[in-house]
Structure 1
Amino acid sequence: MAQETGRATCAMRMRCRSAWALVALCACATSKRFLRDCKSQAASRAWLRASVVGPRLPLPPWERGAAPSPPLQGIVGIQLAAPPTKPSRRAPRRPRPLPAAMALVSADSRIAELLGELHQLIKQTQEERSRSEHNLVNIQKTHERMQTENKISPYYRTKLRGLYTTAKADAEAECNILRKALDKIAEIKSLLEERRIAAKIAGLYNDSEPPRKTMRRGVLMTLLQQSAMTLPLWIGKPGEKPPPLCGAIPAASDYVAKPGDKVAARVKAVDGDEQWILAEVVSYSHATNKYEVDDIDEEGKERHTLSRRRIIPLPQWKANPETDPEALFQKDQLVLALYPQTTCFYRALIHGPPTRPQDDYSVLFEDTSYADGYSPPLNVAQRYVVTCKETKKK
């Protein structure tokens, strides 16, 4: 009984460690990105305040508390007019703020609030971990005494059962706090994406995401790497199966990608050949069942209208090899993978799946310049490996 409870507690703490590492990484990346965006959006917020409040005009003397000028001493027999009364000044018409700009300010406020809640949850996690540390030390000392005496008495059996029950409850409490923190991070990332789309519509950009016409290729590659690194890790409850779009699990048949989602899109190249590119969803028409997508590469600068069969949504969660290995592509499986330092997907074979949550796939790209028809192994993040719809080798 103690061994089974111990294994369950160890498994629970393993999930807590994975969740804790993910919370720390995501919280750090999300906070840094939000603070950087806030600094770069200062001009946008100043413009919005001016739009809402309007220009501040200087007050006339009679409103500033200054005494009116004394009446002039005129010529005898001529009655001078009294000082002019307060003139009527019509305030200039204030421009209406753009809805997208107002959405930016609203998102900033909500993100700041969520970051504060996330900070409190992280503190609670550390406090919970410190509180349960004493019980784990007692478990270790009890096992050492049992090894010294070389026997398992009923006393030690009862004591260990109680200690392991407490440790399991502590691990579950810590895990619940970490899940709440992960939910906060997911909400923050969703708001950041909504704000990015609103800024794109309003024509407002920040330093990390400049307009498409000024996007340098090095900046684009860095953004793609950051997107892969910050992809959330799926951490389910015991016995819970990974959802669609987790690792290698495809999307549901009725799934519709949202604006801003990244997808693999099959388009026609300039030479007439078809290729799979990394694209961003602009809209989806339920009437025609077609997507409008933008080529993520600024050199393309093209918008494509494609049917659903030409779109493959990218994973929204990373699969954990330690707890959900079935949600990963297996060795020698045919896939589409994003070739390093490019924005195009090519056919490849899985050379080796990830062994740890932070690891990448090792893939062999099809390449006729090599004797065996495949390139040397290259690493590709889970974010950019999807199911290949073409089964025949080119």
Structure 2
Amino acid sequence: MPFTAEVAAQQVQECLKSLHRLVCEIEAERNRTEHNIENVLKTQEKVAADENSAHYYEQKLRGLYKTGLADANQEEDLLRAALACINDIRAIRNERRIQARNAGNKETIGCGALMKMLLNSAQTLPLFVGKPGERAPPLCGAVPADGNYIAKSGDMVAALVRVSDKEENWILAEVVGWSISQNKYEVDDIDEEQKNRHVLSKRRVVPLPLMRANPETDESALFPKGSIVMALYPQTTCFYKAVVNKLPGLASDKYEVLFEDSTYPDGYSPPERVAQRYVIAIKEGKGRSS
């Protein structure tokens, strides 16, 4: 069946129905978990208050702990299923947008709306929540892509493009496709006022993160303080060289970076806050300072 607007809408509705059901199940599971926690606390009080019956209550506690662990695992499974539904909706909408673009129906977005869209894209980027001992995967936070990775159509990347005979800039771009025969990307400048399409080699394209890293559980997937990076300058669609000054403290926080800027006495701009999605490893010898 062709992937029409009607088919896409139907798939989104099915995902929304599944999401609603899962949210209800999560709420019910959470209520059960809270009830069990209350029983655990009451039983712990009885262990402390009645030494003669401590052994009995300790046995009861083991059973409550076992039940609580099973409840937590069930709630986790439901939450992951709900997040999968949300990601499915994002994928369906993105696929439909790409189809419209390829059909020549690309919507013109003003500068203000574009900045708002980029902010929303960074804020809603999926958060990696691994299981105990699981490491953050490639393209999560600061973890780079595998060497043979090819970004998909619709993915956002940093692209090094020539803007004059003597100058090249790293810009925010969207992948149109990958040519196997040419071994090159075709990308569109995200700034629609430029309306530029570029054909670039792989070394001139850096995929942006597909997931955020949680600073509280996966700090190793973030750039350390003092790292030299490329970061999207606020209210622009260009990446410039910067130094990480402060890491995000929470999953919703941004990096604090200092952009190289020769107009300031110390060579750096005042601190700017940039979302994880728009902070990437710099490629030495490429790009320019702000």
CA contact (8 A) 2:142 2:222 kept: yes
More helix by share: 1
CA contact (8 A) 2:157 2:206 kept: yes
- 1:294 paired residue among 164, 183, 188: 188
| Residue 29 (structure 2) pairs with residue 128 (structure 1) | yes
Normalising to structure 2: TM-score of the pair?
Answer: 0.93
Shift of 1:159: 2.5
| Residue 124 (structure 2) pairs with residue 230 (structure 1) | yes
Shift of 1:283: 1.2
More strand by share: 2
CA contact (8 A) 1:368 1:374 kept: yes
C-alpha separation in 2, matches of 1:152 and 1:361: 54
Kindly provide the amino acid, as one letter, of the partner of residue 202 in structure 1: A
| Residue 61 (structure 2) pairs with residue 157 (structure 1) | no
Gaps of 5+ in 1: 1-98
Gaps of 5+ in 2: none
Correspondence for 1:348: 242
Shift of 1:321: 1.1
Shift of 1:147: 4.9
Instruction: Assess, with a 3 A threshold, how the Cα gap between structure 1 residues 144 and 369 changes in structure 2: closer, same or farther.
Output: farther
Instruction: Assess, with a 3 A threshold, how the Cα gap between structure 1 residues 271 and 149 changes in structure 2: closer, same or farther.
Output: farther
| Residue 87 (structure 2) pairs with residue 193 (structure 1) | no
Instruction: Assess, with a 3 A threshold, how the Cα gap between structure 1 residues 142 and 296 changes in structure 2: closer, same or farther.
Output: same
Correspondence for 1:95: none
C-alpha separation in 2, matches of 1:363 and 1:145: 53
CA contact (8 A) 2:247 2:254 kept: yes
Correspondence for 1:257: 151
Secondary structure in structure 1 of the residue aligned to 2:4: helix
C-alpha separation in 2, matches of 1:274 and 1:377: 25
Kindly provide the amino acid, as one letter, of the partner of residue 130 in structure 1: N
Q: Which residues of 2 match residues 1-394 of structure 1 at below 5 A? A: 103-147=4-48, 153-204=54-105, 210-211=107-108, 215-270=109-164, 272-390=166-284
C-alpha separation in 1, matches of 2:52 and 2:152: 62
C-alpha separation in 1, matches of 2:103 and 2:160: 29
C-alpha separation in 1, matches of 2:52 and 2:213: 42
C-alpha separation in 1, matches of 2:166 and 2:191: 19
Shift of 1:291: 0.6
C-alpha separation in 2, matches of 1:160 and 1:268: 67
* Cα RMSD, aligned residues only: 2.0
Instruction: Assess, with a 3 A threshold, how the Cα gap between structure 1 residues 348 and 151 changes in structure 2: closer, same or farther.
Output: farther
Secondary structure in structure 1 of the residue aligned to 2:80: helix
Kindly provide the amino acid, as one letter, of the partner of residue 223 in structure 1: M
C-alpha separation in 2, matches of 1:348 and 1:149: 62
Instruction: Assess, with a 3 A threshold, how the Cα gap between structure 1 residues 309 and 150 changes in structure 2: closer, same or farther.
Output: farther
Deviations 1:251-280, CA, capped at 9 Å, x for gaps: 111111111110000011136311100001
Shift of 1:305: 0.8
Kindly provide the amino acid, as one letter, of the partner of residue 217 in structure 2: T
CA contact (8 A) 2:46 2:54 kept: no
Instruction: Assess, with a 3 A threshold, how the Cα gap between structure 1 residues 151 and 298 changes in structure 2: closer, same or farther.
Output: farther
C-alpha separation in 2, matches of 1:149 and 1:373: 68
Shift of 1:224: 0.5
Structure label with greater radius of gyration: 1
Q: How many residues align?
A: 287
CA contact (8 A) 1:104 1:199 kept: no
C-alpha separation in 1, matches of 2:268 and 2:55: 62
Secondary structure in structure 1 of the residue aligned to 2:251: coil
CA contact (8 A) 2:46 2:57 kept: no
C-alpha separation in 2, matches of 1:375 and 1:197: 37
C-alpha separation in 1, matches of 2:52 and 2:115: 60
C-alpha separation in 1, matches of 2:179 and 2:113: 31
Secondary structure in structure 2 of the residue aligned to 1:367: coil
Kindly provide the amino acid, as one letter, of the partner of residue 260 in structure 2: E
Deviations 1:189-212, CA, capped at 9 Å, x for gaps: 11110001112223446xxxx33x
Normalising to structure 1: TM-score of the pair?
Answer: 0.69
